[in-house]
Amino acid sequence: MGNGKTGRITVRQIAEAAGLTIGSVSSVLNNKHVERRISPATVAKVRETAARLGYMPNINARRLRSGAESLNSVTLAVITSFEAPLTLVNHIIKAIRKAVDNERKNGSPYQFTVTIDMFNAGDLASVPGLLSGSHFNAAIITNTTPKDDHFLQRVQLPYPVVLVNRSVPGYPHVCEATDIGSRAADILVDHGRRKLAVLYGQPVTQVTHHRINSFMRQVYSRLGSTVQEIVADTLTERTAANAMRKCLEADAHIDGIYAVTDGMAIGAYHCIKQMGMQIPANVAVVGSGDYGFPALFDPPLATAGEDSIQRAESAVNLLMALIHQREIATTEIVTESTPQLRESLTGTRQPWSGFN
């Protein structure tokens, strides 16, 4: 079986095996046998042969052939590293869905298809169709590692691309401010914390690098002291909790922590509570608000600023503008946000503040 090249069965091979023409085969396969008045015997033979040979239609050929629909079709890819939490990706998918609904309401001629491509951290280059543009018409790329960023810088992608929370020369992008970390430092210091630590996981991405650095710089500038670095092996909550525990067991004097991602913050919360300490009485915790959902935390997590949802929407809007070749004020967007002083820092309960 097979066509000699890949083993994939085609309608032509079914037709040959069944002693029919491809037109009849196709009609049966599309359940058009009634209107085409195909004989029951032929229908049965086609179905049996297709099943026996393990026929799987070529979607690209089908869509190409189905005229108008095919012409309208635009494929958007969301490309993310497999290791990263899917929270940000969820925001992007929801933002796409929203934008696509808008397009339809405004009479856009396009029919959008959304695909998800995940790559192993550092292996962005392996995403099918990335260089050739043969798999999608436009892409949002996020959660890349420095190696991936470097790869992007060397190549040029032949379709509209928007990076989220990554800045690479030549690519439109939507990023948070690079001094988010310094705001975390400010609010911790302003609330009387003096022995500060930063909790982050590996690998350190571009955005976490900025968070960490601006935090450390600002702490030094405000207090003249250095920051203890607590480094988790991976980006998971579990390793964050483990790293925290090791640190707190060795040095109980830390009174304020900046957890550079909300995943890290969950680990920190878990560990601090398990060790019988109080947030913020013993240790204040400030996060980055990247999950966009403070109600997950008890006490509600103070953040250096929350803009994940806004960032996702900006990125999608920018991509749509690029696709439609609309006038664009800037292709380098920085989302703004202000620190959220919640109970994990202030100790003051704010009723019903957990939902945004």
Partner DNA sequence: CTGAAAGCGCTTACAG
- For DNA, the binding residues (CB under 7 A) are 3, 5, 8, 10-12, 20-24, 26-27, 29-30, 32, 36-39, 41-42, 55, 57-58, 61-62, 64-67, 70-71, 134
> What's the first-to-final CA gap in the chain, in angstroms?
58
- Pick 2 or 170: Cβ nearer DNA: 2
Point out which residues pair with 62 in neighbouring strands. Answer: none
Residues in 199-218 at the binding interface with its own copies, rule: CB under 8 A? none
Shortest distance, CB of residue 123 to DNA, whole angstroms? 23
Binding track over 318-337 against its own copies, x by CB under 8 A:
-----xxx------------
Q: Which amino acid is at 42?
A: T
Binding track over 117-146 against its own copies, x by CB under 8 A:
xx---------xx--xxxxxx---------
Contacted entry of DNA, its own copies, none for residue 222, CB cut-off 5 to 8 Å set by kind: none
Preceding omega of 299 cis (within 30 degrees of 0): yes
Measure the CA–CA gap between 68 and 114, rounded to whole angstroms: 19
Q: Are 275 and 250 in contact (CB under 8 A)?
A: no
Find the binder of its own copies among 147, 191, 222, 270 (CB under 8 A): 270
- Pick 82 or 220: Cβ nearer its own copies: 82
Find the binder of its own copies among 39, 44, 82, 251 (CB under 8 A): 82
Measure the CA–CA gap between 196 and 189, rounded to whole angstroms: 9
The alpha carbon of residue 173 and the mean position of all alpha carbons in its chain are separated, in whole angstroms, by: 14
Sign of CA dihedral 353, 279, 267, 336: positive
Residues in 18-57 at the binding interface with its own copies, rule: CB under 8 A? 29-31, 51, 54, 56-57
Phi/psi of residue 64, each to 5°? -65, -45
Shortest distance, CB of residue 111 to DNA, whole angstroms? 14
Preceding omega of 146 cis (within 30 degrees of 0): no
**Contact between 348 and its own copies per CB under 8 A:** no
